[in-house]
Amino acid sequence: MAEKVFRAALDEAGLADAVTVTSAGTGGWHAGEPMDPRAADELAAQGYDTAHTARQVDSHVLSADVLVALDAGHRRTLRDSVPEPGRVVLLRSFDPAASDDAEVPDPYYGGPDGFGEVLRMIEAATPGLLERVRKEL
């Protein structure tokens, strides 16, 4: 979901051609599968693209300038995988209303409103992440 929201923000800002965005899981549980239908429904309802095939983090992903983790476990896994752990940040650290260590919870096993709540968290952090990317271009 975060990839789709951030891609849309980059497109709106006229930066889509200047930034490469990808999404990957720290484990291979869902590699090759489409997006969770509940995530796709929530994204589609808000006008976001839903085309997606899950993949696992690989050397290409780990070479990114910024690695954005959604929770502390993912952040720890990514930091352990790169020589410059400072490149790994939590997405919600870009939301001025959230604490620097706030996480985006995994809605997979949660209730029916979980994906909407997650989308709102992602959207709240996106302007701050976009600003960071603008500064680095």
Q: Which of 98, 102, 59, 101 is nearest to 82 (CA)?
A: 59
| CB contact at 8 A, 87 and 65 | yes
Q: In the annotation, is 106 catalytic?
A: yes
| CB contact at 8 A, 8 and 51 | no
Question: Of the listed 11, 58, 101, 106, which one is catalytic?
Answer: 106
Q: Which residue has the tokens 């869902």?
A: 30
Q: Report how far residue 98's alpha carbon sits from residue 79's, in angstroms, rounded to the nearest whole number.
A: 22
| CB contact at 8 A, 85 and 55 | no
Quickly count: other Cβ atoms within 10 Å of residue 53's Cβ. 11
Quickly count: other Cβ atoms within 10 Å of residue 80's Cβ. 9
Residues designated as active site: 106
